[in-house]
């Protein structure tokens, strides 16, 4: 009996379940496939293509060095090379670790191969789907905070017996420091492309299909070895101040103290538990402030696991949700960065150059704008999925449809993340170099975030009243004169006509 293992591009770990399911390497054949058809579903960022393919090639090489029998195919689709390889090697059972992304599972289930296909339960997350569903079923609210605490208890992270270290579960209030002047964060841990990566860069350069973003300079790590260096670098230099400026945004200091590890976690090059435990160990060994350590662990043990769990828990129609019934098309400037709104201009340019923006840039500028301007959620999600280095279906649905755009009507967020220029001005230096006035709501140079924000609240006042946490801000809407409200609505309408 010959066993075949198909390793998908985001399953690049020796620990992954399909590899682990074989007790030895005898009669085991491993395949990787780079499919051109697969990447034509959207105009992916060129660096994302380089990252995934180069990481696949590096991992294939690692398996070869471990004496696995590895086939690496560069092909049009998945079905033909699989069929060929199954026949050539007389494979009787093809094992694949269950994909993170639902559409990929459906594609595998539809394959017609001359062997049995087994999906091996995914072990890439701390909580598997059954465990999460068990936690979530029957709860009135799927609060991230409850889930996070359960995770802390389960894996005994930052715990003193059954109590949180330091007495509090969540120190988020200490992690919202606005930036004052230059902050001079430590440099990023970047890498020079090696031979394998240079080959992939040449391949991507020669592609005749629509893509997005700059191909070079390509600075991302592409192997577990490099991903571990990024993790060490983060813990050494960035973790101590991670918390304090977690929500800040600064021109020219784009990544601040963020870890830059999502591309590696999402490919399987880093495992969530090892990341969490390394950070906790650093806390115990060095005098790192608890707000930074807890703040970071909450991201990985809390948010990341929660978003993945919800993705598999919700109904299949979740991706199409549109609670506010928003239908505006995606403005063209999301693809070009050509807008006078400096915050969007800076961040979109940054995404174009690197495929990366940090959480607050994604949530409070990019998706906030889409939310208040009434852009169709699915159009926005498609943009995020194409443009980001770390984007996958599982992380898109919950973050963009749910958290960013509140298109699920509050399954996971307790209120919409809608904000005016006031927030952006407080947390960034973007407004200082902007042609718009962050204080103005209705004049000619009024900031679009302001008139869209009030227009959004007004348009959806009734729906928003059902969200308890919105009542305070809706009271301010009631205090606005009808003249001002009309001008705001007019400005919002005019903006759409001209964009």
Instruction: Provide the binding-site residues for ligand SF4, judged by CB under 6 A.
Output: 341-343, 421, 424-425, 430-431, 434, 436, 438, 447, 449
User: What's the distance, Cα to Cα, between the start and end of the chain in Å?
Assistant: 61
Which residue's CB is nearer to ligand FAD, number 94 or number 363?
A: 363
Q: How far apart are CA 380 and CA 360, in angstroms?
A: 16
Q: Which of 276, 190, 255 is nearest to 229 (CA)?
A: 190
Which residue's CB is nearer to ligand SF4, number 94 or number 424?
A: 424
- Chosen from ligand FAD, ligand SF4, none, partner binding at 449 (C-beta under 5 to 8 Å by type): ligand SF4
- CA angle centred on 282, ends 281 and 286, rounded to 5°: 125
Q: Is the dihedral of CA 169, 173, 178, 183 positive or negative?
A: negative
Which residue's CB is nearer to ligand FAD, number 358 or number 438?
A: 358
Q: Concatenated DSSP letters for 11-42?
A: ---TT-HHHHT-SSSTTEEEEEEEETTGGGTT
Q: Check residue 395 for interaction with ligand FAD (CB under 6 A).
A: yes
Cβ atoms of 183 and 253 within 8 Å: the answer is yes
Which residue's CB is nearer to ligand FAD, number 85 or number 257?
A: 257
Kindly write out the interface string for residues 203-242 of this chain, putting x where it contacts ligand FAD by CB under 6 A and - elsewhere: ----------------------------------------
Continuous H helices in 155-271: 195-206, 224-233, 239-242, 262-267
Contact with ligand FAD (CB under 6 A): which of 292, 299, 425, 450? Answer: 299
Q: How far apart are CA 334 and CA 356, in angstroms?
A: 14
Q: Produce one character per residue of 334-365: b if its CB has 16 or more CB atoms within 10 Å, e if not.
A: bbebebebbbbbbbbebbbebbbbbebbbbbb
Q: How far apart are CA 372 and CA 404, in angstroms?
A: 11
Which residue's CB is nearer to ligand SF4, number 343 or number 395?
A: 343
Q: Check residue 496 for interaction with ligand FAD (CB under 6 A).
A: no
Q: How far apart are CA 185 and CA 357, in angstroms?
A: 16
- Site residues for ligand FAD, 341-380, by CB under 6 A, read 358-359, 362-363, 367
Contact with ligand FAD (CB under 6 A): which of 57, 304, 312, 441? Answer: 304
Those residues whose C-beta lies under 8 Å from the C-beta of residue 72, and which sit 6 or more positions away, are 31, 32, 34, 56, 57, 60
Q: What is the DSSP letter of 43?
A: T
- Chosen from ligand SF4, ligand FAD, none, partner binding at 303 (C-beta under 5 to 8 Å by type): ligand FAD
- Chosen from ligand SF4, ligand FAD, none, partner binding at 335 (C-beta under 5 to 8 Å by type): none
Which residue's CB is nearer to ligand SF4, number 82 or number 364?
A: 364
Query: Of 154-162, 214-222, 256-264, 340-348, which part binds ligand FAD (CB under 6 A)?
Result: 256-264
Which residue's CB is nearer to ligand SF4, number 341 or number 418?
A: 341
- Chosen from ligand SF4, ligand FAD, none, partner binding at 304 (C-beta under 5 to 8 Å by type): ligand FAD
Which residue's CB is nearer to ligand SF4, number 84 or number 437?
A: 437
Smallest gap from residue 358 Cβ to ligand FAD (A) = 5
Q: Which of 291, 283, 257, 289 is nearest to 171 (CA)?
A: 291
Cβ atoms of 191 and 48 within 8 Å: the answer is no
- Chosen from ligand SF4, ligand FAD, none, partner binding at 411 (C-beta under 5 to 8 Å by type): none
Q: Which residues bind ligand FAD (CB under 6 A)?
A: 258-262, 265-266, 299-300, 303-304, 307, 358-359, 362-363, 367, 384, 388, 390-391, 395-396, 399-400, 403-404
């Amino acid at each position: 009996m010959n066993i075949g293992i198909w390793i998908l591009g985001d399953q690049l770990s020796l620990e992954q379940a399909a590899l682990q399911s074989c007790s030895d390497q005898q009669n085991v054949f491993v395949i990787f496939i780079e499919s051109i058809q697969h990447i034509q579903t959207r105009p992916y960022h060129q660096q994302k293509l380089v990252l995934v393919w180069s990481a696949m090639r590096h991992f294939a090489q690692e398996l070869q060095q471990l004496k696995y029998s590895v086939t690496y195919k560069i092909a049009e689709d998945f079905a033909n090379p699989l069929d060929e390889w199954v026949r050539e090697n007389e494979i009787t059972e093809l094992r694949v670790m269950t994909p993170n992304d639902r559409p990929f599972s459906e594609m595998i289930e539809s394959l017609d191969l001359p062997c049995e296909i087994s999906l091996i339960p995914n072990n890439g997350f701390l909580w598997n789907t059954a465990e999460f569903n068990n936690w979530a079923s029957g709860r009135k609210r799927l609060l991230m905070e409850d889930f996070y605490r359960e995770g802390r208890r389960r894996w005994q992270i930052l715990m003193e017996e059954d109590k949180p270290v330091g007495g509090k579960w969540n120190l988020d209030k200490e992690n919202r420091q606005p930036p004052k002047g230059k902050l001079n964060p430590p440099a990023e841990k970047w890498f020079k492309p090696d031979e394998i990566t240079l080959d992939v860069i040449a391949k991507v350069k020669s592609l005749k299909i629509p893509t997005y973003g700059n191909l070079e300079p390509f600075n991302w790590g592409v192997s577990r070895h490099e991903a571990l260096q990024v993790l060490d670098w983060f813990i050494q230099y960035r973790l101590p101040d991670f918390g304090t400026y977690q929500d800040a945004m600064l021109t020219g200091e784009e990544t601040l103290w963020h870890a830059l590890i999502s591309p590696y976690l999402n490919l399987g090059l880093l495992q969530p538990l090892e990341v969490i435990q390394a950070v906790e160990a650093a806390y115990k060994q060095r005098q790192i402030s608890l707000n930074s350590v807890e703040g970071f662990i909450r991201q990985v043990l809390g948010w990341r696991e929660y978003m993945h769990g919800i993705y598999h828990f919700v109904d299949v129609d979740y991706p199409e949700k549109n609670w506010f019934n928003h239908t505006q098309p995606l403005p063209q400037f999301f693809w070009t960065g050509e807008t006078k709104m400096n915050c969007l201009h800076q961040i979109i340019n940054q995404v174009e150059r690197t495929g990366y923006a940090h959480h607050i840039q994604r949530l409070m500028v990019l998706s906030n704008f889409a939310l208040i301007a009434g852009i169709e959620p699915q159009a926005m999600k498609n943009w995020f999925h194409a443009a980001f280095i770390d984007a996958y279906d599982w992380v898109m649905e919950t973050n963009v449809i749910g958290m960013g755009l509140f298109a699920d009507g509050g399954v996971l967020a307790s209120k919409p993340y809608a904000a005016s220029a006031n927030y952006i001005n407080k947390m960034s230096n973007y407004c200082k170099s902007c042609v718009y006035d962050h204080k103005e709501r209705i004049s000619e140079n009024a900031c679009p975030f302001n008139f869209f924000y009030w227009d959004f609240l007004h348009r959806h006042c009734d729906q928003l009243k059902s969200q308890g946490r919105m009542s305070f801000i809706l009271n301010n809407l009631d205090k606005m004169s009808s003249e001002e409200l009309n001008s705001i609505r007019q400005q919002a309408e005019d903006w759409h006509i001209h964009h």
